[in-house]
């Protein structure tokens, strides 16, 4: 059981990509899942559990060195309005179970937050989870990202739906908020390669490509790269409910998740400088390059393979 990894969120956007990368690395992975899953790789097993059930986490973390924590409670839950309370209970359960079983490190991905700003409910909750991990007494490595460019990512799918499906795109009070996207493959490289980099223990890193855009520019560049002519109309106010409702219908993303993510467009998501380049020896690809990669993958993967996404 030495060097066992516990992967949470293995059925989600980030967790499923990490699982694929870990299976290529030939390490022992145990996935915490709510429903049984069949894995063909003999190095990958599963344990049934729920992050809201402490006892199941004690069983899941037994003999584990590293936990990947890729959970959030937005969408899907019956008690949607309380997602932040549930997220707090879940991570408190996990850090307690990690302490009980002597887990050495929790690797987590969350959103970029700006300490100068009043955060949306979604980002306040993400920040709270991050703080609980940092203060847990267990080692950690935390990465923070904004829009992750990749099929199946909630923020990306909302961007994609807005630009592809609306010939006239209304932009609201968040049009000039700044954002620094990053491609999914780069995110996965950081998450998986940090396993072998001891210097990343007890560190937090913002990750993003070298391009910083406003949300309006992000949509303009995306439309240009897809060869779509779009008219942008500025409208005062946030129109949170109306835009969440429309995008909830257009994007293949859970409508509650769309609602919480749109609330976060008021918050800038720009990276703090760090020594990531030196530690990992690569730089993330540009926004335009990332759009081209995804467009190429679309040619290979039919639209029908898309699923209704519940992530954030």
132 lies in the site for ligand NAP, by CB under 6 A: no
Report how far residue 18's alpha carbon sits from residue 230's, in angstroms, rounded to the nearest whole number.
Answer: 35
Buried b (16+ CB within 10 A) or exposed e, 171-193: bbebbebbbbbbbbebbbbbbbb
Residue 55 or residue 234: which is nearer to ligand NAP going by CB? 55
308 lies in the site for ligand NAP, by CB under 6 A: no
Residue 30 or residue 72: which is nearer to ligand NAP going by CB? 72
142 lies in the site for ligand NAP, by CB under 6 A: no
The correct pick among 6, 13, 151, 205 for binding ligand NAP (CB under 6 A) is 13
Do residues 298 and 160 lie in contact, with contact meaning Cβ atoms separated by under 8 Å? no
The correct pick among 145, 166, 171, 192 for binding ligand NAP (CB under 6 A) is 145
Residue 145 or residue 195: which is nearer to ligand NAP going by CB? 145
Give the CA distances from residue 89 to residues 66, 83, 136, 274, 306, in Å, rounded to whole numbers and listed in that order: 20, 10, 14, 31, 31
The correct pick among 4, 5, 6, 14 for binding ligand NAP (CB under 6 A) is 14
Determine how β-strand 178-179 pairs with β-strand 213-214: antiparallel
Q: What angle do CA 264, 249, 233 make, to 5 degrees?
A: 65
Tokens 């439309």 belong to residue: 223
Residue 71 or residue 107: which is nearer to ligand NAP going by CB? 71
Q: Find the DSSP H helices in the chain.
A: 13-25, 54-60, 83-101, 121-134, 154-165, 184-193, 215-226, 240-250, 255-263, 276-280, 287-300
Residues 149-168 that bind ligand NAP (CB under 6 A): 153-155
Name the segment binding ligand NAP (CB under 6 A); options: 58-66, 104-112, 157-165, 295-303: 104-112
Binding mask 52-71 for ligand NAP (x = CB under 6 A): x-----------------xx
The correct pick among 148, 166, 251, 258 for binding ligand NAP (CB under 6 A) is 148
126 lies in the site for ligand NAP, by CB under 6 A: yes
Residue 23 or residue 168: which is nearer to ligand NAP going by CB? 23
The least CB distance from residue 305 to ligand NAP, in Å, is 15
The correct pick among 57, 107, 109, 209 for binding ligand NAP (CB under 6 A) is 109
First to last CA, the chain: 32
311 lies in the site for ligand NAP, by CB under 6 A: yes
The least CB distance from residue 190 to ligand NAP, in Å, is 12
Do residues 9 and 71 lie in contact, with contact meaning Cβ atoms separated by under 8 Å? yes
72 lies in the site for ligand NAP, by CB under 6 A: yes
Name the nearest CA neighbour of 274 among 214, 200, 211, 212: 200
Residues of this chain that interact with ligand NAP (CB under 6 A) are 8-9, 11-15, 34, 50-52, 70-73, 76, 109-111, 126, 145, 148, 153-155, 310-312
């Amino acid at each position: 059981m030495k060097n066992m990894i516990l992967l949470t969120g293995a059925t989600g956007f980030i967790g499923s990509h990490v699982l694929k990368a870990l299976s290529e690395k030939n390490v022992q992975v145990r996935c915490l899942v709510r429903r049984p899953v069949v894995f063909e790789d003999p190095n990958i097993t599963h344990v049934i559990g729920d992050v809201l059930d402490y006892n199941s986490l004690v069983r899941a973390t037994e003999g584990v060195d590293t936990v990947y924590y890729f959970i959030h409670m937005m969408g899907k839950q019956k008690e949607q309005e309380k997602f932040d309370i549930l997220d707090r209970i879940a991570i408190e359960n996990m850090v307690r179970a990690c302490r009980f079983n002597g887990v050495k490190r929790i690797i987590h991905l969350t959103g970029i937050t700006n300490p100068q700003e009043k955060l949306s409910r979604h980002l306040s909750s993400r920040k709270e989870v991050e703080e609980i991990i940092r203060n847990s007494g267990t080692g950690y490595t935390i990465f923070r990202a904004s829009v992750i460019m990749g099929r199946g990512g909630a923020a990306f799918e909302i961007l994609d739906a807005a630009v592809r499906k609306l010939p006239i795109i209304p932009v609201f009070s968040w049009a000039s908020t700044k954002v620094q996207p990053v491609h999914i493959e780069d995110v996965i490289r950081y998450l998986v390669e940090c396993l072998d980099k001891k210097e990343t223990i007890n560190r937090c890193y913002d990750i993003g490509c070298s391009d910083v855009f406003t949300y309006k520019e992000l949509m303009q560049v995306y439309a240009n790269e897809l060869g779509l002519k779009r008219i942008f109309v500025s409208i005062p106010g946030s129109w949170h409910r109306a835009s969440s409702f429309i995008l909830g219908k257009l994007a293949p993303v859970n409508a509650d998740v769309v609602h919480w993510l749109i609330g976060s467009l008021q918050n800038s998501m720009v990276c703090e400088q760090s020594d990531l380049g030196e530690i990992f020896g690569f730089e993330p690809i540009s926004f335009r390059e990332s759009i081209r990669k995804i467009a190429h993958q679309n040619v290979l993967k039919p639209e029908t393979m898309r699923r209704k996404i519940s992530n954030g």
